[in-house]
Amino acid sequence: MKFNITQPQQEIHGELVNKINNKTKPLGALGMLEALALKIGLIQQTLTPEFLQPTMLVFAGDHGIVEAGVSPYPQAVTAQMVSNFLQGGAAINVFTKQNNMCLLVIDSGVNHDFLPNAYLIDVKIAPGTRNFLLEPAMALFQCEQALKRGAEIAKAQIAEGCNIFGFGEMGIGNTSSASCLMSVLCDLPIEQCVGRGTGLDDAGLAHKTKILAQAIKLHHLDGADAMQVLTTFGGFEIAMMVGAMLQAAEKKCTLLIDGFITTAALLVAAKLQPEILHYCIFSHSSNESGHQKMLDFLQAKPLLNIGLRLGEGTGAALAYPLVLAAVNFLNNMASFESASVSQATDSQASAS
């Protein structure tokens, strides 16, 4: 699929800055919320932005690399956790419900057949990827199919009125996939990209690092070809997320980026369409080793750093109230003029 993502037009930049600066507060006193308000106003091309039908998309898929012993959990946990999402029992259910976000779970490639459910979108490519220690994780046509299906999911939600998406994932073994994507696309040693995932001990971490180093050496890829890298190391849930992100950005939506795996998907998307970053808000810095390095590579400033490493989109859901606060202060906070509050003089403001 081809996407056409352009940088938001800048004509109202000055008006937005003026509106933010004339709220009843010292200049810059709301910190990152001011930068958020400016970014969202530019994305929506309005001085009065609003969020409509906030939707969390959680993509799930299984990974063949699990056969190499890179996770302490069996592959069956992917399907078990998806069932937990559908029954309303996971952390992401709690946080999206708290923040009035719609939650949709996408079966991108789980090794299980689920019963129909109102919150499940079944667009399974295959029952899990292949073991990329031995061969590419997927065929190119499967990767392209995953991108297309992800884009179609985002497009359908946009047609129903959604203009802000959170992105999350579930897939035992997907930190291995994300680590390899990061290593190749950021040109970093795999040792700087691998973390403990779902809780590996020191021996498990050493084994995981060794396996992923062997896989990268086997395929010997150039990070300039993001589609080939995604096809070789990606998961179906990661590839589908890439497609959804690209479609959402093309349609001028706001993207809430979660943790390590979601950021790896964005890394691929940004290699394909660099302008996507203008539409992204980075929710948090994960405790998963390597995530902050990936954020640094993308020159991203996360909103939170509270030790999260769960995935599921939980960081994006927890950051949403801050993003909503940025919109609300821009729309509802009084100006100096409307509140009859005196402003600092230029000399006083510059001295402070």
pTM of the model: 0.95
Mean pLDDT of 267-284: 98
Mean pLDDT of 87-98: 98
CA distance 161 to 38: 22
Q: Residue 176: which region, alpha, beta or left (left: phi > 0; alpha: psi -120 to 50)?
A: alpha
Output the pLDDT for position 338. Answer: 84
User: Which residues have a catalytic role annotated?
Assistant: 312
Answer yes or no: is pLDDT of 199 > 90: no
Q: Which phi and psi angles does 131 have, rounded to 5°? A: -80, 110
Least Cα distance to 75 among 84, 66, 83 occurs for 66
Condensed to tens digits (0 to 9), the pLDDT of residues 114-169 reads 999 999 999 999 999 999 999 999 999 999 999 999 999 999 999 999 999 999 99
Dihedral angle, C-alpha 35, 318, 72, 266, nearest 10 ° = -40
Mean pLDDT of 312-341: 94
Output the pLDDT for position 346. Answer: 59
Output the pLDDT for position 345. Answer: 67
Output the pLDDT for position 248. Answer: 98
Q: Which phi and psi angles does 75 have, rounded to 5°? A: -60, -30
Answer yes or no: is pLDDT of 347 > 60: no
**Banded model confidence at residue 229, pLDDT cuts 50, 70, 90:** very high
Answer yes or no: is pLDDT of 181 > 90: yes
Output the pLDDT for position 342. Answer: 80
- Residues belonging to the chain: 352
Output the pLDDT for position 87. Answer: 97
Mean pLDDT estimate for the chain: 95
Mean pLDDT of 319-338: 96
Share of the chain above pLDDT 90, in %: 92
260 half-sphere exposure, CB direction, 13 A CA radius: 32
Q: Domains along the chain?
A: 55-328 (3.40.50.10210)
Mean pLDDT of 286-304: 96
Q: How far is CA 148 from the centre of its chain?
A: 18
CA distance 306 to 47: 31
Output the pLDDT for position 351. Answer: 30
Concatenating the DSSP letter of every residue in 121-142 gives EE--SSSS---TTTS-SS-HHH
Answer yes or no: is pLDDT of 3 > 70: yes
Quickly list H helices, 160-281.
174-186, 202-219, 226-233, 236-250, 260-272
Output the pLDDT for position 201. Answer: 92
